[in-house]
Structure 1
């Protein structure tokens, strides 16, 4: 049993190391006993994402069946049934150790299922409904592992950080998502800037964004910054041993927006990546930052033509 559990944690750690370089680097700043639990939660979310996105050669019905089967094994494990799976024992152990809210996991799996049938979102409010499970729930399921001096006060910033991280990924990965048949930039925003899905596809094919697309991306960057600003107070509410980790993750994900801005908001020219030297410097600086120091909110300069900063819909801050 112990050997099986250790192997499951190793499997989760390897998934995290291979697919989540930014957050994996940040988790190395955590105490070892916390680290493996973060790997387990990342492994859970990544494996579900793999079923949805890395099996896209299969018909949607078969991918849905695979997700349902895996979710069924997970739910059976939550009810104490034996689980035959390479990583779920670690996830179930972490849930038990911290008494994590099962609703967060159900919400996450619901959003993963949406990716099999939903290809676009009419408005940002609709996208937020999706991100409640795919992003905010991850923030709240991580919070007990990271620990907080005031969990109730830290909950909303944790949700906001989930939104910020995922929107950053959506901004960076427009081309990759298009290749999977999905658009996460809201239709109402595309309409506002006179951009169609065909325009995005053509820009992806040519490797160059039009001025209208760059203005659209700049607008979404500003929206992501609003989520980062709402998340910032939560970092200092975390346990001292967790603050360096989350300062690093916060700065590095925000740094992706800096890279997007540096390439004039052309997310098709190249994939925005924070250079390795900068990642290491950010981690070192976080280690040296005194506990309780307020977090600097990321804010790359925006073109003058970009409309006023978007406000966060009520559903994002409720």
Structure 2
């Protein structure tokens, strides 16, 4: 089995730990279509760790969304605070009974990923239980540090750098921009879904600029103010993709096609939103399957070339 080959290559031993990594792989395959495709372009020894990071982020997001609606926002936040404290205690201890947490704790230890990135991520997820909008982009950026930027930073030790001449701080700055670009793309694509959960992630200052309010978004009809608003936010996201682009050549050669594939497919979601005249309300916009396969096939050829060059990373 492919999953077994990956676990063998990664040196994951013990039935419980291997089952935990397999669970994270299944979560990535089910929910992270673009990320899962991109992860398959990594050397097998690296894939389980990326599955674990994705699986953990999705697991926490589901915990936040599934907390009982019968509780007040403060009670839900308190419940999640308790769960977060338990996870951080398990992380300090080095083991967990939660299968997803078990895999990510092993990943953190193997790659020496700073614990602060996970604490910041949990803090951002807690905000989703009490904060339903952000007044300014600066306010939103503080949220995105924990919800997106640190995820890019978590990935870097696994992706590796091209060579020792690449400064980590430079690579980190590009990773932060890419995480932000992915998150902004999600915010634009998922407006309708977020509204159903009572949240609006587009800054209020942007809505005000174009005369759009929450009720107008909730009606789900694309008019000129909404087109102008989304066009504005799409250009903001594209600026982050542009700022992140130089970092793609700075990661290890065997990780490069993974990152390029994910970046290309995610950035093209913005193209698709424009193609459907900014209608993010009637369906979830996605890159067509044939295009995904074409980009994935191109990435696979590049990944094979990098591995044949003996650069296994």
TM-score relative to the length of structure 1: 0.87
Residues 1:117 and 1:16: Cα distance change in structure 2 (over 3 Å): same
Residues 1:81 and 1:146: Cα distance change in structure 2 (over 3 Å): closer
Cross-structure match for 1:25: 37
**Tell me, which stretches of 5 or more residues in structure 1 are unaligned?**
293-318
Residues 1:131 and 1:244: Cα distance change in structure 2 (over 3 Å): same
Cross-structure match for 1:226: 239
Cross-structure match for 1:35: 47
Worse-superposed segment, 145-154 or 111-120:
145-154
Residues 1:102 and 1:82: Cα distance change in structure 2 (over 3 Å): closer
Helix, strand or coil for the counterpart of 1:79?
Answer: helix
Worse-superposed segment, 263-272 or 7-16:
263-272
Cross-structure match for 1:99: 112
Aligned residues: 288
Tell me, in whole angstroms, the C-alpha distance in 2 between the residues paired with 1:137 and 1:58.
31
Matched, 1:5 2:22: no
Helix, strand or coil for the counterpart of 2:93?
Answer: coil
1:12-91 maps to which residues of 2 (within 5 A)? Answer: 12-55=24-67, 57-59=69-71, 60-80=73-93, 82-91=95-104
Is 2:95–2:102's contact at 8 Å kept on the other side of the alignment?
Answer: no
Tell me, in whole angstroms, the C-alpha distance in 1 between the residues paired with 2:267 and 2:95.
41
Cross-structure match for 2:4: none
Q: Cα deviation per residue 1:19-41 (whole Å; 9 max; x = unaligned)?
A: 11111111011111110000111
**Tell me, which stretches of 5 or more residues in structure 2 are unaligned?**
1-12, 307-313
Residues 1:7 and 1:66: Cα distance change in structure 2 (over 3 Å): farther
Helix, strand or coil for the counterpart of 2:52?
Answer: helix
Matched, 1:166 2:172: no
Is 1:48–1:67's contact at 8 Å kept on the other side of the alignment?
Answer: no
Matched, 1:152 2:164: no
1:1-318 maps to which residues of 2 (within 5 A)? Answer: 2-55=14-67, 57-59=69-71, 60-80=73-93, 82-149=95-162, 150=166, 151-203=168-220, 208-289=221-302
Helix, strand or coil for the counterpart of 2:279?
Answer: coil
